[in-house]
Each structure stands twice: as structure tokens, then as C-alpha cells.
Amino acid sequence: MAFTVYNVPPIAPDPDNTTYIEGGGLRVGVEYRLLNDEELAANYEGAAMDEVQAGIQGDIEDSGVSLHVESVVDGKEYLRFDCFENGPHYHYIEPTGKSQTVVDYDSAALGEMLPWALGQLRERLFPMLKRAGGAALIAGIDEPAFRSCLDEVERLARDASEALATQKQH
């Protein structure tokens, strides 16, 4: 899979559009997110904007559900799954918050991203946290408690996706 390393932080979740579910020492934010040129301009400028735009071909206009995986202990986001319509991808966010690796998701090979993302959180959480620089968190995570919160995360994410689909029909 193709990936890009950015030496800029990701755009922070919008607190007005994000619902957090906590479990096992982590929390997952479920956000319906619109990503476009205005959103980029509101969050990046100068060299940071140049770096972000270098990784994007043309104008950007995308939307979908984002899952933000954060530590309850340090409040930092380590993983993000952007289940977007046109350019689904996921992020490994380094603990400094100053850099991130964005990995393109291949929906032709892997299918719809949301079920895949939830599967990764259920089955690959520890290796993904380690890859993001969160190895120190692993010992403090109550994995069964975290997994139990994922049912509510899935419900919220599906509700947000359905609301978007209904909105587009009107």
C-alpha cells in the first residue's frame, strides 16, 4: 500500500462533530468529517500547507466517517481511520503529534473501509499502536473492555454513514 509521511500534525477532530466512546484505557472518537481545500487552508499555512498539498493531486473534496483512537492516559491520538468516499486512508500519528504516516486504503482489494477499520481495532490494535509509537500504552490497555466499546463505535459510525447517504439523496 502507498503511504506518505508528513512532518505536520493531522487536522484535529472537530469537537462539535465528534462523539467519544471510552473503554479499556483508550477512547474512540466517531466523527463525520468533510475534507476540502477550505478545511486544509483553515488548518495549515506556509511550509506546512506546501507539504500537505505536495501529497495531494488536485483539489480535494471528500467526506466520510473518521475514527480517532486516543489514549485516555496522555490524551494523544495515535491512530485515525478516515473512511472517506473517494480517498479512504488511515493515519499512524507519532506521539509528538508533529508527524504522521498516511496510508492509502485499497477498497478494490479490501472492500468497504469501515468494517475493515473495526476489524483492525479488534484484531490488530497492539501492532498498529506499536507502529504509531504507542508501545508504552499497550501494557495499560484492558483489551476486552476496549473491544466491548467497539460495538457502540460501530453503531455510531453506521448511523453517521446512513445520515450522509440520506442527506445526499435529498
pLDDT tens digits along 127-145: 999 999 999 999 999 999 9
Phi and psi (nearest 5°) for 108?
Answer: -65, -40
Percent of the chain exceeding pLDDT 70 equals 94
CA 45, CA 64: separation in Å to the nearest integer?
A: 24
Average pLDDT over residues 105-110: 96
Count of Cβ atoms closer than 10 Å to residue 141 Cβ: 20
At 6, the amino acid letter reads Y
pLDDT tens digits along 16-36: 999 999 999 999 999 999 888
Instruction: Give per-residue burial for 67-78: e unless 16+ CB within 10 Å, then b.
Output: bbbbbeeeebbb
- Pick from 152, 135, 163, 120: which is nearest to 28 by CA? 152
Q: Domain count for the chain, please give it.
A: 1
Spatial contact of 90 and 102, defined as CB atoms under 8 Å apart: yes
Domain range for 30 is 3-169
Per the document, the length of the chain is: 170
* DSSP E strand stretches across 49-141: 61-71, 77-84, 89-93, 100-104
Report the half-sphere exposure of 19 (CA within 13 A, side-chain side).
12
